[in-house]
């Protein structure tokens, strides 16, 4: 997909983020320095989706103070970094984008020092938890000190807290659904909206609008747009994880399925006669290419692929309809139109 | 020990904390409500050492805006709650003060629902991590919105961030020292100063002084006082954990020793000829009353008890000397004098 706000300057947000991280790199001591170095690597190389959304909507709605918006955009990326680092601790993941993540870096270091594997893992988890704490507190601090008028800062802090609470609740729901199993599609969509869509789409869009002085009706509508886009992308990700090329998605094919995650595709397939054969593959880390091809066949034959494609397209369509009257301009408005149309085309 | 600021009103800080927590209790959904209910229990029943220190020093230095100070004092308690909840996740502890802590509450709930023990533990860890995140972000937010002038808020946020970074570094150092073993006394004292003394004593004392408009020399001296008091109390805790009565300390006797923690007492004993016999008890969870008596004999015969008692008394003496010229008044000054003298007497 094209990127939101490719036309908007993301430079100022990158600069603000870099300033935040590099001024801390030296550390108050060697341990602190290690945590910040790891955080800098974790924040590096991201697509900056959230800062781009914030800066584009800010520009589209006539916002002029780019320096302030860039600070808040940097805070969005810090928040995202905190969530990613803490998520990896929760999931026990030690790599991200093919290289060691924060906890993986510290685990590796302890192993090389001759520490037993179990203790090295624990050390990695502790480092991930602490680094995530630093990034999270940094996000709140950066919003608080962004330089906007006090009433705007309070409003932004309220939006940030709401997003944090909803995404924490979504994360907890995700783990609980995986414990109990058998979640239905509605529960999964709500969980994904809470866990990801709110902080990744609703929050940056609304924060950019608040900074541009938009009125409440526009802010509310942007929230709706953000949630719809967020869920549409989650559905697309689910499809790409099964039917996409590893080179495009950057994730090993069928990784969610191998982990036994209850995704929308799986939730739909469970309601069809193809489920008994498919169920054998869900949670099997050793699916071979023949098995992978069979999984794709089953998810197609069951109608699950088509159902989720249609659902993604519908979310995209409603998002487009919500966006239209907002008059988001060529940059952001064009991106919403193109991306949501892309969801339909992929279907 | 008597409590700092028993004469100062801690009511306003308690009210601010209660307001913060109860307005969130309803939750944005059921998962969020569960996390906040657990946080409310975690924050309940504490001794409120940090809010008391902040409010007493604020009053002693002529601060007048108690409402603002109470907000920052409540933030100190939220920060402490976040650290306690995350520490329990790091240590795998499921109880605190004899009842289930945040992660224990969620673990128990999952177990009762029939989830396997390993998955129930994971659910508890996730809940603890998320609840700690909410409390940590809440602490930064509460300082940001405390109502002090912008320059004061920025100063307070700087102090808060510094304390967070130092205590995260101290926590990481603590885990690393336990991995490598054989830490010497100086390393352990630095780690304890970083992990606990800075956020528990230096931060509230300095924040109270900043809010009272104290000058930089006073703020710097209060920082020194805080670190000294913090280390003195850590040494006292170490002694009480071995030689104190369970009824007084609230912790099972010898719990640090049973866990194999390298405390100051242990670090000293390691340099004495009594170490080989003592070493057999360190990390043994099943020490019986005869063993416990022998541990106490060994730590006394080795001179370790006396050494740590003298060290605690010295820290207390220096703290008293640092406090004297600050003219902290009858309430706080009297408490510092009495408590530090108490350290000497206990020795």
A151 touches chain B (CB under 8 A): no
Between residues A347 and B318, the one the model is more confident about: B318
Q: Any idea what DSSP says for residue A100?
A: E
pTM: 0.95
Residues 6+ apart with CB under 8 A from B158: none
Which tens digit of pLDDT belongs to each residue from A161-181?
999 999 999 999 999 998 887
Which tens digit of pLDDT belongs to each residue from A34-75?
999 999 999 998 889 999 999 999 999 999 999 999 999 999
Residue whose C-alpha is closest to residue B223's, from B208, B212, B237, B211: B208
Which tens digit of pLDDT belongs to each residue from A242-276?
998 877 776 778 888 888 888 999 999 999 999 99
A123 touches chain B (CB under 8 A): yes
Contact, A70 vs A15, CB < 8 A? yes
Of B138, B154, B172, the CB nearest to A126: B172
Element (H, E) at A1: none
A–B CB contacts, 8 A cutoff, strictly below: 156
What residues of A are in contact with residue B86 (Cβ under 8 Å)? Answer: 129, 133
- The CATH number of whichever domain residue A68 belongs to comes to 1.10.600.10
Of A28, A127, A132, the CB nearest to B165: A28
Dihedral sign, Cα of residue B255, residue B258, residue B259, residue B263: positive
What is the C-alpha separation between B85 and B78, in angstroms, rounded? 10
Q: Flag whether pLDDT at B1 surpasses 80.
A: no
Give domain status of residue B62, yes or no: no
Task: Give Cα A274 to chain centroid, integer Å.
Answer: 31
Q: How many structural domains does chain B have?
A: 1
Asked if the Cβ–Cβ distance from B166 to A29 is below 8 Å, we say yes
Residue whose C-alpha is closest to residue A52's, from A1, A2, A6: A6
Asked if the Cβ–Cβ distance from B164 to A137 is below 8 Å, we say yes
B positions 184-223 inside 8 Å of A (CB): 194
Asked if the Cβ–Cβ distance from B133 to A133 is below 8 Å, we say yes
ipTM: 0.95
* C-alpha distance from B302 to closest chain A C-alpha (Å): 30
Question: DSSP labels for B229-248?
Answer: HHHHHHHHHHHHHHHS-HHH
A136 touches chain B (CB under 8 A): yes
Give domain status of residue B276, yes or no: yes
Neighbour tally for A198: CB within 10 Å: 25
Asked if the Cβ–Cβ distance from B169 to A29 is below 8 Å, we say yes
HSE, side-chain direction, 13 A CA sphere, residue B293: 3
Closest-CA residue of chain B to A158: B141
Q: At A341, is the pLDDT very low, low, confident or very high (cuts 50, 70, 90)?
A: confident
pLDDT at A3: 53
Give domain status of residue A301, yes or no: no
Contact, B50 vs B5, CB < 8 A? no
A positions 2-61 inside 8 Å of B (CB): 24, 27-32, 34-35
Dmax over Cα atoms in chain B, in whole Å? 61
* C-alpha distance from B74 to closest chain A C-alpha (Å): 16
Q: Between the CA of residue A208 and those of A12, A68, A75, A166, what are the distances in Å? A: 14, 10, 12, 19
Asked if the Cβ–Cβ distance from B144 to A137 is below 8 Å, we say no
Give domain status of residue A124, yes or no: yes
pLDDT at B42: 95
What residues of A are in contact with residue B153 (Cβ under 8 Å)? Answer: 144
Asked if the Cβ–Cβ distance from A141 to B141 is below 8 Å, we say no
Asked if the Cβ–Cβ distance from B126 to A154 is below 8 Å, we say no
Dihedral sign, Cα of residue A188, residue A194, residue A199, residue A203: positive
In angstroms, the first-to-last Cα distance of chain A is 14
3-state secondary structure of B99: strand
* C-alpha distance from A169 to closest chain B C-alpha (Å): 5
Give domain status of residue A81, yes or no: yes
Q: Between the CA of residue A59 and those of A159, A212, B162, what are the distances in Å? A: 19, 8, 34
Q: At B347, is the pLDDT very low, low, confident or very high (cuts 50, 70, 90)?
A: very low
Q: Flag whether pLDDT at A2 surpasses 60.
A: no
pLDDT at B222: 98
Which tens digit of pLDDT belongs to each residue from B249-287?
667 788 888 888 889 999 999 999 999 999 999 989 999
Task: Give Cα A7 to chain centroid, integer Å.
Answer: 22
Give domain status of residue A95, yes or no: yes
3-state secondary structure of B95: strand
pLDDT at B346: 59
Which tens digit of pLDDT belongs to each residue from B282-312?
989 999 999 999 999 999 999 999 999 999 9
Asked if the Cβ–Cβ distance from A126 to B175 is below 8 Å, we say yes
Mean pLDDT estimate for chain A: 93
Closest-CA residue of chain B to A138: B161
pLDDT at A74: 98
Of B125, B144, B164, the CB nearest to A134: B164
Give domain status of residue B322, yes or no: yes
Q: Between the CA of residue A241 and those of A17, A91, A229, A296, B75, what are the distances in Å? A: 30, 18, 18, 11, 43
Among B141, B152, B163, B178, most A C-beta atoms within 10 A, so best to mutate, is B141
Which tens digit of pLDDT belongs to each residue from B56-107?
999 999 999 999 999 999 999 999 999 999 999 998 999 988 899 999 999 9
What is the C-alpha separation between B321 and B197, in angstroms, rounded? 18
Neighbour tally for A285: CB within 10 Å: 10
Q: At A1, is the pLDDT very low, low, confident or very high (cuts 50, 70, 90)?
A: very low
| Domain hosting residue B249, numbered range | 218-347
Mean pLDDT estimate for chain B: 93
Question: DSSP labels for B32-94?
Answer: HHHHHHHHHHHHTT---HHHHHHHHHHHHTT---HHHHHHHHHHHHHHHHHHHHHHHHHHT--
Which tens digit of pLDDT belongs to each residue from B211-258?
999 999 999 999 999 999 999 999 999 999 999 887 776 677 888 888
Contact, B20 vs B138, CB < 8 A? yes
Give domain status of residue A330, yes or no: no
């Amino acid at each position: 997909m094209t990127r939101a706000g490719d036309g908007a300057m993301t430079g100022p947000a990158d600069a603000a983020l870099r300033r935040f991280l590099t001024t801390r790199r030296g550390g108050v001591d060697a341990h602190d320095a290690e945590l910040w170095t790891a955080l800098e690597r974790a924040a590096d190389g991201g697509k900056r989706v959230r800062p781009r959304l914030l800066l584009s909507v800010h520009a589209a709605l006539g916002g002029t103070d780019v320096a302030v918006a860039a600070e808040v955009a940097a805070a969005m990326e810090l928040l995202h970094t905190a969530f990613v680092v803490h998520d990896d601790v929760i999931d026990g993941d030690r790599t991200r984008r093919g290289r060691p993540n924060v906890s993986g870096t510290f685990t590796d270091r302890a192993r090389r020092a001759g520490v037993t594997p179990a203790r090295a893992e624990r050390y990695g988890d502790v480092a991930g938890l602490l680094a995530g704490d630093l990034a999270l507190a940094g996000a709140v601090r950066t919003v608080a000190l962004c330089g906007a008028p006090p009433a705007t800062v309070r409003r932004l802090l309220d939006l940030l807290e709401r997003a944090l609470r909803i995404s924490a609740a979504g994360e907890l729901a995700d783990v609980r659904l995986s414990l109990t199993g058998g979640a239905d599609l509605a529960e999964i969509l709500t969980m994904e909206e809470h866990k990801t869509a709110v902080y990744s789409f609703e929050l940056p869009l609304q924060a950019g609008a608040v900074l541009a002085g938009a009125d409440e009706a526009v802010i509310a509508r942007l929230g709706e747009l953000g949630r719809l886009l967020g869920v549409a992308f989650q559905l697309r990700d689910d499809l790409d994880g099964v039917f996409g090329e590893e080179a495009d998605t950057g994730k090993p094919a069928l990784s969610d399925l191998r982990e036994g995650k209850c995704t929308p595709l799986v939730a739909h397939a469970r309601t069809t006669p193809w489920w008994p054969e498919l169920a054998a593959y869900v949670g099997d880390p050793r699916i071979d290419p023949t098995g992978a091809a069979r999984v794709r066949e089953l998810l197609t034959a069951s109608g699950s692929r088509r159902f989720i494609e249609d659902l993604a397209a519908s979310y995209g369509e409603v998002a487009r309809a919500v966006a239209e009257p907002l008059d988001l301009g060529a940059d952001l408005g064009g991106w919403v139109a193109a991306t949501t149309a892309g969801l339909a085309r992929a279907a």
